[in-house]
Amino acid sequence: MKTTDLEMIESNKFSKYIVFFYLVFSGSLTFPISLSIFLPLVIFIATVISYFFVSYMFVALYKNRPFFVLGLTFIFNLIGLLFRVILEWGEFSLMQELNAINVVTFLIFAPLVVLLFYTLIQHFLINQNDFRKEL
């Protein structure tokens, strides 16, 4: 019997903690979302790709629980943002970037991207596995 990636992630005790730590870590490093020059564009693309892998792990950990995944992503991203604010409190660059539009965009963007990837992965991966079981 061959184990799939999803089953391996599901059986690993530390998978949840890895995902939660990564969301806090990325939440503290990727604020603000900016597409003004080349380097932030590369960081933006890398962040979106990493959210794909986070979503893949969420599919293994929390099957058919999209709103739970949305809430977890929001909460841990918010914690990461709070760590960033505490770390850089008083610096001019943070005070310039820390406005309502940037914060709301940041806190909405990440959970929605993770939810989108979660839904797509779950739809295609689970449906593919169900189709294989029927054969």
Distance CA 105, CA 31 (A): 10
- DSSP-derived letter for residue 123 is I
pLDDT of residue 38 exceeding 80, the answer is: no
CB neighbours of 41 closer than 8 A, spacing ≥ 6?
A: 35
- The domain segmentation of the chain, as residue ranges, is 5-134
In this structure, are residues 111 and 70 in contact, taking their beta carbons and an 8 Å threshold? Answer: yes
Q: What integer pLDDT is reported at residue 12 of this predicted model?
A: 66
Q: Which H or E run contains 28?
A: helix 15-29
Identify which of 50-54, 84-88, 100-104 has the greatest average pLDDT: 50-54
114: nearest Cα among 19, 13, 39, 34: 19
